[in-house]
Chain A
Amino acid sequence: MSAPSALTQIQQQIREAASHQRPIRIRGGGTKDFYGESLRGEVLDMGRLTGVIDYEPSELVVTAWAGTPLAEIEALLATQNQYLAFEPPAFAPGTTLGGVVAAGLSGPRRATVGGVRDFVLGASLLSSQGELLKFGGRVMKNVAGFDVSRLLVGSLGILGPIADVSIKVLPCPRLEVTLAFEMTAAESVRAFNRWLRTPIPVSATSWWGGQARVRLSGMPTAVEEGVRQLNGERVPTAEAAIWWAQLRHHQHPFLNREQPLWRMSIPATSPLLSIAGEVLIEWAGALRWVRSTTPASDLRAAASALGGSAALWHGGPSQPMSAPLAPGVLALHRRLKSQFDPLGIFNPDRLIVGI
């Protein structure tokens, strides 16, 4: 189906649902159904709305319809030696660009290069009247009006379906080298933060099972200089690529076991948590995956005491995935929701129960 006729269909379905105040469940590739709180309403299939609208390598921007598969966009960028630097997780084949933006999840480069939000330049939103509203644009700098396109990042559809997105892309680094170090988790967090405060071109860090891994990316001279300074064990290129891809796409076995898995997002320099359970560390310590049967309230309290938050990624006691919001912030969410979606039809309860 062509994008214009898919868009017309989608707009019709929205108007229809709005006229009956029926909830709509916005769906791209359905690879992140596990993510968020509840799934409610009739499916609005954004996966039909596909195609790259514009790609100009020298402008460093790609614009595509929301249902375009992530894999298609990454393959296109690769032909020009460019890439999505925020390395979004795909979880499974079928992940769409719109889903990537709506979920707002970023990969191994988050602590060094930035997250999805940092690369979104513009987006279109569909209102509950089915109107196409355009925010931001295709240029690097734009401060006309509130930055609504970036507010959509991580909104999980509660403000409305995203129809298209413009994303900043970057040239692929000329060289990447991964180094490994035997060290404890606590040592690794200290080392990562020390290295990130130097000009060494660190692009990703991880610690798991007694081993820290550090990826350097950039101009060959700078990478080689960093390799000499850090003096770790060089991980063979193919093995390194598999390692970072496993972390990025959540295919690492540790992230896929049955026990409860907690995602602790805390300031990078936080000390190790005194919580029983195994840990996998990313983002120089700012992201800690914890397998633990410790009560949810203890985990959430530990994270918030450090100025962060804990989300129950999967498994375990039935309770909300995300940490609760402060009352004032929650009230603001309610007001934003009712302003964007007065009928309350878009993805109710998906981001926050009751909104």
Chain B
Amino acid sequence: MSEVSAPASANDGSDGPFAIPAPEKKRLLVAALRALLPVDAVLDTPHDLTVYECDGLAAFRQIPVAVVLPRTEQEVVSIVKLCHAWDVPVVARGAGTGLSGGALPHAAGVLLSLARMNRIVSLDQVAGTARVEPGVRNLAISEAAAPMGLYYAPDPSSQIACTIGGNIAENSGGVHCLKYGLTLHNVLRLRGVTIEGELIECGSEALDAPGLDLLSIVVGSEGLLLVVTEITVRLLPKPPCARVVLASFSTVSQAGDAVAAIIAAGIIPAGLEMMDRGVAMAVEPFVHAGYDLTAAAILLIESDGTVAEVEDEIAWLSVLLTKVGAQSIAISHSESERLRFWSGRKNAFPAAGRISPDYYCMDGTIPRKHLGRVLESIQAMEAKYDLKCINVFHAGDGNLHPLILFDANVPGQWERADRFGSEIVELCVALGGTITGEHGVGIEKINSMCVQFSDSERAIFSAVKVAFDAKGLLNPGKVIPTLRRCAEYGRQHVHLGVLPFSDLPRF
């Protein structure tokens, strides 16, 4: 199921200086790559290349010159050295589940798939760490560590498929990151290759390292700084017990207040998720989770730890939820019930795909206290753009995933969905939040970067980029918009007058 299957909009390299090579240069490049790699590691037929034309954001598609599939770090080094010498752009790719077009190929470039570098190098039960190659799937780490009673905590919903390399690039989160942190908080060290082919170690298996903390700038850098080739992650002991409280509310703002009340009272649950009625209605016929369809909003609150600790926390949560006006509360009494309660939340995206030909998933973050206000504004936007939007949230950390429903085959709907999405993320910025909480900027939110950051702030991003990659060959055209792009976007904006809450201070 693709996120969006809308008309093509190519990354034609307009944000970068790289021209699409003439057929002769293409042929030479492919031949040079073939000379470096095993025969099955270079793809260049149209049929093979099409497989890689987009990531999870299928509205943007582009065919690269070639796809390379190295098996070793040494092969990665030789590929990037060649590309650096030839001034050829390189786009790294994990599983291609990204939702912001981060792994969208470059028309003049090589797509570097890390999927075959998928070995778990070592697991250390005593230290609670795993060393892995970038193509290892997120869930595969927890599966390998399970016999030791350990697991890797960050759990994006895409964890069956997405790779740890992609997680590093996006600083991915999951439903349990409220308590256990994002990717950054669970990675100790990584090794990556610069575009010049030099190996760089960031972080350490010790808890700090001399010099600048390069790990924190590489995590979340969307493949613009290094090609990550080896990672050491932290493993945590698996909690012996986990239970879920399902609470429903007659208004969204009541549910928002309940979230604030839980946190203010000093509990950080393992998970704290919200869905609105639109999502509950979409998933219930499909998963039969037992959701209260009369509710405006449903909260799923997970408690984990020892049996006694969970019992304590649940008892305490039930009292508090009643006090803040929950219209119904249900508590899971078995593992199968817990999974059933979660099943709706976990199936929100596929369910959106069931009730609508296409959907567009947004990813802004706001201070929690504005939850009610944002939902009201989204309702108003539904009328403005004449499209329906259903909402799931990582409520505990204020991360919203509005799913805008549309039909790409109806002319104009994708364009409206796109504008609807931009208005949502820019509202998030106006309320003191951000355009992306976990899916990244990629190509998708590149215009919104002009809204969140000033010219001088974006100049710092370019400065970091230049320090790592002076020629700008790694994933060009992503994340950092050019000044020209922002100037054009600014003019458009003023023209349409859609900058929301322009009276609010921006920090």
Contact = CB atoms under 8 A, between A and B. Distances in A.
- Do A and B bind? yes
Interface of A: 56-61, 81, 104, 110-111, 114-115, 117-118, 125, 127, 131, 133-135, 137-148, 150-151, 153-155, 158-159, 170-172, 174, 193-194, 196-199, 218-222, 225, 265-269, 283, 286-287, 306-309, 311, 322-326, 328-330, 332-333, 335-336, 339-340, 351-352
Contacts of A151: 212-214, 216-217, 464
Contacts of A219: 305, 309, 312-313
Contacts of A127: 456
B185 to A, nearest CB: 5
A139 B445 contact: no
B171 A143 contact: yes
Interface in B2-48: none
B507 A58 contact: no
19 contacts: A58-B264, A59-B369, A59-B398, A110-B207, A127-B456, A133-B460, A137-B432, A139-B367, A146-B217, A146-B220, A146-B221, A146-B225, A148-B217, A148-B461, A199-B239, A221-B312, A225-B309, A286-B207, A329-B211
A155 B461 CA distance: 17
Nearest to A53: B507
Those 9 A-B pairs whose CB atoms lie nearest each other, nearest first: A171-B266, A140-B397, A150-B216, A339-B463, A141-B437, A308-B206, A335-B467, A222-B309, A58-B264
Contacts of B467: 332, 335-336, 339
B213 A150 contact: yes
B365 to A, nearest CB: 4
Nearest to A310: B210
- Interface-centre pick from A115, A131, A142, A197 (highest chain B CB count, 10 A): A142
B126 A269 contact: yes
B438 A141 contact: yes
B498 interface: no
Contacts of A125: 460
Contacts of A268: 127, 207
Interface string B264-277: 11111000000000
Given A114-B185, A265-B209, A269-B124, A138 B217 contact: no
Contacts of B298: none
Contacts of A198: 237
A43 to B, nearest CB: 23
Given A221-B306, A308-B204, A133 B312 contact: no
B205 A199 contact: no
Contact of A155 (B171, B212, B436): B212
B213 A153 contact: yes
Nearest to B439: A143
Contacts of A196: 128, 237
B76 interface: no
B125 interface: yes
Nearest to B148: A197
B268 A170 contact: yes
Most buried by A among B128, B367, B438, B441: B367
A137 B507 contact: yes
Residue with the greatest number of chain B CB neighbours at <10 A, chosen from A133, A146, A352? A146
Of B266, B268, B437, most A-chain CB atoms within 10 Å? B266
A58 B480 CA distance: 33
B149 interface: yes
A225 B308 contact: yes
Contact of A133 (B170, B220, B369, B457): B457
A165 B368 CA distance: 19
Interface in B352-383: 365-369
A143 B212 contact: no
B173 interface: yes
A262 to B, nearest CB: 13
Given A142-B434, A154-B212, A118 B185 contact: yes
B246 interface: no
A38 to B, nearest CB: 16
Interface of B: 124-128, 148-150, 170-171, 173, 177-178, 181-182, 184-185, 194, 198-201, 204-214, 216-217, 219-221, 224-225, 237, 239-240, 260-261, 263-268, 305-306, 308-309, 311-313, 365-369, 394, 396-399, 432-441, 445, 448-449, 452-454, 456-458, 460-461, 463-468, 479-480, 507
A351 B313 CA distance: 45
A329 B398 contact: no
A193 B209 contact: no
Contacts of B221: 146
A144 B426 CA distance: 12
A150 B456 contact: no
B453 A197 contact: no
B434 A56 contact: no
B466 A286 contact: no
Contacts of A193: 126-128
A70 B206 CA distance: 27
A267 B213 contact: no
Contacts of B434: 137, 139, 141-144
A333 B211 contact: yes
A326 B203 CA distance: 13
Given A125-B460, A144-B448, A309-B209, 20 more contacts: A57-B264, A59-B369, A133-B456, A134-B507, A135-B457, A139-B366, A141-B399, A143-B441, A144-B434, A144-B449, A145-B441, A146-B461, A153-B216, A197-B150, A197-B237, A198-B237, A219-B309, A219-B313, A307-B205, A332-B468
A135 B127 CA distance: 34
A43 B64 CA distance: 53
Contacts of A159: 212
A143 B170 contact: yes
A34 to B, nearest CB: 16
Given A137-B432, A139-B397, A309-B206, A147 B182 contact: no
A269 B205 CA distance: 10
Nearest to B257: A58
Contact of A329 (B171, B200, B312): B200
B507 to A, nearest CB: 6
Given A58-B368, A143-B440, A269-B126, A171 B214 contact: no
Contacts of A114: 181, 185
A145 B480 contact: yes
Given A110-B207, A151-B213, A333-B212, A58 B399 contact: no
